[in-house]
Each structure stands twice: as C-alpha cells, then as structure tokens.
Amino acid sequence: MNTTTQQSQKPDLSEIATIVRSFARARLELRGVRQGARVRCHGRVIVPRRSGIEVGSRAVFMDGSIPTELRCEEGAELSIGPRTLFNYGVSITARRSVRIGARCMLASFVHVRDDDGFRVEPVVIGNDVWIAYGAIIEPGSVVGDGAVIATMAVVSGEVPPRSLVTGNPARFLPLERAGHELGPLAELQAETAQPALETVAEPEARPDGPSRDGVRRAILDWLDDTRLFGEAAKLITSDTVSLREGGMLDSLGVVELVMMLEKAFGVTIDRDRAARPDSQSMNAFVDFVIGAPAGT
C-alpha cells in the first residue's frame, strides 16, 4: 500500500474529536450503568433507572431527532451485547428481562418490550440480528442468531436463526431462500406499511423531474435511517460499485429501496432490471429514477 493510500485512510482531527466526544458522552449519558470499554454515544439516551442495565463494549448509540430510551424497572435486567448499534428513537422496555446479543443493529423507532400491559415475558434477541425501521419485538419473543426483522414487522414468538421476518402478523422466510428470489420478497413486503418513507428528504424540484443529487441524497438518507445508521456517505466510496456486493443491501433491501424510490419520486421502476446484479450501484438506482416513466 502506498503512502498516499495510507494517509487517506487515517481519520482527520475532526473525526478523532468526534470519537473522543462520543466516549465522553457515553460516560455521561450512561452514568451508573454497567458498561464495557469504548461505548459511544453520539446523541441523547434516556435512562430513567440505572440499575439492572448492562451495555457491552463498543456499543454505539447514534444521534437523531428523537433520543433512544432504555427503561429497566426495579428488579429487572436489560442486557446489550458488545458492538451492538442503535439508531435514534429506539425504545427498550424491560420489566423482567430483555437480552440483546452482540453485533446487532437496531434501526430508528424500533420498540423492544417484555411487557405489553397484558403479559410480562422475557425477550431474547440473538447475535448478529438486524431489526429494521419501526419493527416491534413483543413479550416472550426469542429471535435467533442472524435473523432479519423487516420494516414495521411485529414479532411475537420464536424466530428461527437466519430467517427473514415481515408483516403483522409476522411471516417467516429463510434467508437462504430470500437470497435467490426477488419476486416473492416484493409480494411479502407489499403487505407491510412503509412509514420510513416519510423520513426521506424531499427531492430537489426541477422542471423536467428530480435532480441526480436529489435522488442520491434521498437514497443516502434512506440507507442511514434503515441500515447504515448515519454512515452511508462514508461507506459508499464509489457510486459505480454494487450496493449489494458491498454489503449495503440484500435481496429484501433492493425491494425496499425500489419501493421507496417509486413512492418518493412518483415513478415506475423496472423491477426486472433492478433485480440484476449489474444494476444495483448508486448510479444505477439514480438512473432508474431519472429515466423512469412518471406515475406508479
């Protein structure tokens, strides 16, 4: 690796300052909470009671318009595994026990609770689980390792490892199957509401349609809200590289992104083209919107 490349990968002083502030803020926001090393808070975290809560090392709480809330009643336990990441507006309520594993990702407005006013049952979320925007994990749920909970899904019961969960009531699909077929995922996702679209910034108005910058910005905002937790602009280093191959999207993500763009910009996108691996870069998705016929 040459010297220029090495230098380009080093964080600048502003990034270092942001990291240091996030460490200090974690100590302030989570004071009195048992926490591991290098926990980071970029925004406000509400913690009404400190006892019974444990936050694993390198966990991250992102900044946003609504703070995250960790509510643990007296005598209960709320455990968060290492390297788990929370976007803003997440709500966790433990009256008896809520356990969240390592390396999980919780998108904005996810709600996890072991008490719904009628029953109190422990909740267990395994390792490497992704929970998308607005999903709800109900009392008594056990979510297996590597599961993906889709936007606005409501989980009540057991989710097998490596499963995709959509809808309310929840429906399950093995991720191995989901990786092969785009059509069935589109049908499943069409049954769920898409309130995350409301968070996408309005595209720049132009007489002949949306601008490329407006569409790109909307895609980045959506990725931040649903998957990349404020890191989209840093992680997408090339607009010509496939977002799916780069790990930014899976099959479900392609479906959700297409649906978001159609609704946000009032266009119809060719689903067959969008399903092709060579048509899933940032530039490709922008081109779909710019060149798509109006009306859905």
Domain that holds residue 234: 195-290
User: Last residue of some domain: 110, 140, 175?
Assistant: 175
Q: How confident is the model over 65-96, as pLDDT tens digits?
A: 889 999 999 999 999 999 999 988 999 999 99
Q: Examine the domain organization and report whether 162 and 69 are in the same domain.
A: yes
Alpha-carbon torsion 231, 196, 69, 122, what sign?
negative
User: Last residue of some domain: 141, 175, 209?
Assistant: 175
Q: Examine the domain organization and report whether 241 and 276 are in the same domain.
A: yes
Looking at residue 248, its pLDDT comes to 77
Q: Examine the domain organization and report whether 121 and 205 are in the same domain.
A: no
Q: Examine the domain organization and report whether 235 and 135 are in the same domain.
A: no
CATH number, domain at 223? Answer: 1.10.1200.10
Q: Examine the domain organization and report whether 17 and 144 are in the same domain.
A: yes
Q: Examine the domain organization and report whether 36 and 167 are in the same domain.
A: yes
Looking at residue 293, its pLDDT comes to 67
Asked, for residue 80, whether it belongs to a domain, the answer is yes
CATH number, domain at 87? Answer: 2.160.10.10
Asked, for residue 86, whether it belongs to a domain, the answer is yes
Looking at residue 295, its pLDDT comes to 53
Q: Examine the domain organization and report whether 170 and 238 are in the same domain.
A: no
Q: Examine the domain organization and report whether 159 and 52 are in the same domain.
A: yes
Q: Examine the domain organization and report whether 170 and 83 are in the same domain.
A: yes
Asked, for residue 171, whether it belongs to a domain, the answer is yes
Asked, for residue 241, whether it belongs to a domain, the answer is yes
DSSP string, the chain: --HHHHHHHS--HHHHHHHHHHHHHHHHHTTTSEE-TT-EESS-EE-S--TTEEE-TT-EE---SS-EEEEE-TT-EEEE-TT-EE-TT-EEEESSEEEE-TT-EE-TT-EEESB-SS-B--EEE-TT-EE-TT-EE-TT-EE-TT-EEPTT-EE-SEE-TTEEEETTTTEEEEHHHHTT-SHHHHHHHHTS--GGGGGSPPPPP-TTS--HHHHHHHHHHHHIIIIITT-HHHH---TTSBTTTTTS--HHHHHHHHHHHHHHHTB---HHHHTSGGG-BHHHHHHHHHTSPB--
Q: Examine the domain organization and report whether 163 and 217 are in the same domain.
A: no
Looking at residue 294, its pLDDT comes to 61
Report how many domains make up the chain.
2
Token readout for 183 is: 């059509």
User: Last residue of some domain: 175, 205, 221?
Assistant: 175
The predicted model scores a pTM of: 0.62
Query: With a cut of 70, which residues of the chain have pLDDT below it?
Result: 1-12, 176-208, 229, 251-252, 293-296
Looking at residue 159, its pLDDT comes to 94
Q: Examine the domain organization and report whether 143 and 228 are in the same domain.
A: no
Asked, for residue 4, whether it belongs to a domain, the answer is no
Single-letter amino acid code for the residue at 251 = S
Asked, for residue 3, whether it belongs to a domain, the answer is no
Asked, for residue 65, whether it belongs to a domain, the answer is yes
Q: Examine the domain organization and report whether 206 and 275 are in the same domain.
A: yes
- 96 near 115, Cβ under 8 Å? yes
Asked, for residue 92, whether it belongs to a domain, the answer is yes
